Structure 1
Amino acid sequence: MHRTTVIDAVFRGLRDALAASRSLPNAVYYRLAGLNYRYRAIATEKRVRDESFRSYELYDRHGNDWLLAALLDRCRDGDVVVDVGANTGVYALSVAAEYPESTVVALEPNPRIAETLRANVAVSGFDERIRSLEVGLGAEDGSLPFHRSSYHELSSFNRFNAERFGARVVDIEEVPIRTLDSLVDGGEVPPPDHLKVDVEGFGLDVLRGAREVLATHRPFVYVEPHARNEGESDDRGEAAAGIRDLLVTERYTIIPGEDGWVCIPEESRE
């Protein structure tokens, strides 16, 4: 069979899968999405309120996230949004679609996932709205092993998170780590008005490396707390307690929601 025939067959299979993709098991969904990214086959439209973007995800898996809605409610054109753990870009793309005059910086440490992020930014025509950086954030500058998961959304510096829900680690790669403080101090990232953190168990480290930004620039923080160890609760475990203590110390009010916390500077309390 000719290569073009094989690719055509793959494309047809992907198109047929779209209608059923919302109910597919995770392993099947990620396999199909991986093929779609590999061949850049179908970039479907995803709605963001009155606007839209395109991506190679089979459907908008996080378009109805409570945390995303909270970010969109508070953001305004002209704001700076820093998306830590951007993955394939759902939050970054949503903000750029809804607020075209905003500045979005999307940080994703894993080279393969960062490539899918850039592909989604390009197919949406958002190259002027979103700047992607292939770097991880942590408590200090350096490097760390990154565990790429078979479920790309679970990829993490923490092996436990990369293997949750039946996923497996498919690759481990040393990646660069920076603190948000050093990126902002060095002028590489503008001071954020909004800081979104979804890093699969590494959130406390990210915030420890952002103490100066939190104290000086007072961004709204949108964080998904995740467990770091077996048997630990996502929002009530040791990692979550550390995040809560740090933010309270920095004078933030924490509003828990369905899939994360909105953290508001006390002087901006609603």
Structure 2
Amino acid sequence: MIEIKYAGKICRFDDEGVDPECPGTMYGPLLRGKFYEHAFLDYIASLQIPGTYLDVGACIGTHTVFFALCCPSDRVYAFEPRSVAMQRLRRNLELNGLESRVETSQWALSDTEGTVDVRLDRVNHTLHTRRLDTLVKGPVAVIKLDIEGMEAQALAGAREILRNYRPRVFAEAHTEEEMAGILSVLEPHGYQATGRVFNASPTYEFMVPSTGGKR
């Protein structure tokens, strides 16, 4: 088991089967005592936004655990369609006693209910899709999305959440086309890119300026 200390909190992660000589993208930082995308998470924590957090593309749950333990969240939703990653995510929630505060889901998120064919981890998958607006009810404070180019579709399935609650949004975009797709969904709700960009896989911050202060 790996323990990461952050702001007086201890976050635990299952390391069964992890090769310390080749730990991979997520576990490499953890073995060095840091979170994956540590500076990004540090910034989100600094905002001190209370409420419900959505981790879309949660993988093994590093960000999910951070949102639940190190941010002023009252509830966290973690979405991860891959079974192997979900098993590890749920184990990490157990290690931190977070089963009652975090709701996990293996649905892929899009703007329609149906199926989508994607390639993840060099394997072709057919994923069943749902809309965020049908899966999450009530106020949402923060949405983080890292779903391999489907960020715009997932946000299009969250128009009620965006219109009613104006959460802070952090979305990955690798190309100008992906960025344009995200903006086409967010701008009608008053969102703008703040200019802040995080991570090796560029992750952009979006907010509604009129409600952009700390909550």
> Same fold by TM (over 0.5)?
yes
SS where residue 198 of structure 2 aligns? coil
Q: Deviations over 1:17-69 (max 9, x none)?
A: xxxxxxxxxxxxxxxxxxxxxxxxxx201223321211134514515232x22
Sequence identity (%): 25
Instruction: Map 1:29-108 to 2 at 5 A.
Output: 43-56=1-14, 57=27, 59=30, 60-66=34-40, 68-77=41-50, 79-99=51-71, 102-108=74-80
Residue identity matched to 1:244:
L
d(CA) in 2 for partners of 1:176, 1:47 = 36
Where does residue 126 of structure 2 map in the other structure? 174
Q: Deviations over 1:205-249 (max 9, x none)?
A: 1111111210112111111213xxxxxx4xxx2111221232222
Any conservation in 1 of the 2:52–2:73 contact (CA below 8 Å)? no
Q: 2:187 aligns with which of 248, 265, 270?
A: 248
Listed as ranges, the gaps of 5+ residues in structure 1 are: 1-42, 150-168, 227-232
Higher Cα Rg, which structure: 1
Q: How many Å apart are 1:84 and its aligned residue?
A: 0.7
CA contact (8 A) 2:49 2:72 kept: no
Change (3 A) 1:216 1:223: same
Contact 2:79 2:104 in 1 (8 A): yes
How many residues matched? 193
Structure whose residues are more often strand by fraction: 2
**C-alpha distance 181-61 of structure 1, shift in aligned 2 (>3 A):** same
Check 1:110–1:146 CA distance in 2 against 1; reply closer, same or farther (3 A cut). farther
Which runs of 5 or more structure 2 residues have no equivalent in the other structure?
15-26
Q: Which has the higher helix share?
A: 1
Q: Aligned-pair RMSD on alpha carbons?
A: 2.0
Q: TM-score, normalised by structure 2?
A: 0.81
TM-score (norm 1): 0.65
Alignment of 1:133-212 (within 5 A): 133-149=105-121, 169=122, 171-184=123-136, 187=137, 190-212=138-160
* TM-aligned CA distance change 1:119 to 1:131, over 3 Å: same
